[in-house]
Chains A and B, each alone.
Chain A
Amino acid sequence: MSNVLAELSALEPFRAQVREWLADNLPADWRERMTGADEADHVVFQKAWFRKLMEPGYAAPHWPVEWGGSGMSFAQQIVLYEEIARAGAPRLILYFIALHHVPGTLLHWGTEEQRQRHLPAILAGDEIWCQGFSEPNAGSDLASLRTRAERRGDHFVVNGQKTWSSNAHLARYCLLLARTDPTAAKARGISYFILDLQTPGVTLRPIKQMTGASHFNEIFLDDVVIPAENLIGPEHGGWAVAQSTLSSERGLSVLELAERMREGFKLLIAAAKVPTRAGRLPLEDDEIRRRMVDVRTRIEALRLLVNNQLSAVLKGEAAGVEPSMIKLYYSDLLRDFTELGVSIGGIEAQFLQGVLMGGANETGYWMQDYLYSWAWTISGGSSEIQRNIIAERGLKLPREPQAA
């Protein structure tokens, strides 16, 4: 149908190579080991899997060769992420910020010293990073953040509070946004820093979620000193730097998630073949069957929306509002998918179980999956913000007037 398809077809030998490597190297018992695993074991396993993936160059396929990455073409990365997802391999969730946001930021805005200091360490598996963007009163409206960084000669002194920082309690460094010019208009007075989380004055408080897990953290910053050499990009120019951070993924993460969801559908089928307490099979229930068809069709629709965005990237076209459409579609679908799992599982799905650490968003522990799906309609730009973006930039609807 297109050059894109032809390009992917030409990569079939590479696909076979990746598939074979995964078959040989993915620990067969990893789900068993990571289900209900404690945090220390999870970190050890993530580091080991990261280093394993580095051997054939699969952990950092998008990094340039001169920085230790594989320098794979975008089409190769598509194939790689598809195969990793189809194999049901662990997600490198502890390394997400380090692998995507850090290079996307430092390679564009960072100094040579910053790159030399951090990029090799990341690929050695030694550095876990987190993000310090959101604040208690600045989530979707990120530009209203109030954490203050005052310049004092060769360093900044930072005071404020960050929140929703995933895996900060396991991280060494943080990509931090703070206000350096309180007199400037919202987005213009912000700067972007590398924060060493071991600096005196940094206090972390894990947030206990309703699922029972503690994935996110609050970060309290009290007179934290950050050397000026840790400023990324121009002083007061951090907003533009943050845009580079947030646009660094180009659709591959959601490709992986969509492909994992396809695989996860098999869990729904398996669950629907387990008799309920009343002795009925959910798979014989017409309403369950109707909802399964609905979810199954939407998974395919999601994949097509993702394909279309990836095609645009391959052709070098601007993404437009496609990422927002896909994020919205995915998070709505994930909620309905996992809710169906809860419906199928009945009360048996609602007892506390061990969580699969580093797994997909569909693990078969349906209540955990369902509750965690709610995070997806909020994080990374809430569904309401995505709808605003699509309405204004995609459908060209008039903006809602600013509040007085």
Chain B
Amino acid sequence: MAMPLIHIENIVKKFGPFIALNGVSLDVRAGEVHALLGDNGAGKSTLIKVLAGVHQPTSGKIFIEGKEMHFRSPRDASDAGIGTVYQDLAINPLMSVTRNFFMGRELKGPFGTLRMDEMNQIAHDEMLKIGIDFSDPTQAVGTMSGGQRQTLAIARAIYFGAKVLILDEPTSALGQKQQMGVLKTMMRVRARGDIAIIFITHNEIHSQLVADRFTFLALGEVIGSGSKDDLEHDEIRRLMAGGVDIGDLAKEIDQVMAEASV
């Protein structure tokens, strides 16, 4: 089997006495969507921040294409090819699509001038590749829908060299149709075959629609993992709830209701 694009080994992250991650390991291959699931507080956010270079792990190793990496800053991580699309997307609503696309990495001509036509063209083409035909790249981002903004952020990360794309709950704040749009965008990126996608989500249906593999986190540890074929629907649901059976939960709820009616 092909070498994983990103290989994470036994990552431990402590904040003082608090153990946020207790030995997490993960492999993601190119052209694969790897869903990272878990309840609130499971350690998903901490793991992303370690991968994005925001936090340094207490111990453990990160390999990209077989080479061990040490990220001291978010810039190190993005230079190594890790593109993180956060929930707030790091987008400026008053600025145009193009100006956002190239923010901080503008194409310069002589005297620091912007190669605006070229930048407009690239922004348009890159967004078209993953599914949005944007007729006017000078339009302000504030007028775009949430799904379109998500696409902009993803297209930007890919254009600037992301080999590992981390999507932090990209469907969470969107309406039904836009969620599907973002999932389609992910599948187009997957079809390129050279990018590994880490998909963080709360939504088991979304994860089942697009993911090839799953890793479940609970209380800072991996409690289960496997490919799409290995896992049963109920098993996914059980693991997502942190290993609690939904049946157990129903019993507990009945119990509370019984107590309340006494």
Partners in one complex: no
**Chain A interface (Cβ < 8 Å from any Cβ of B):** none
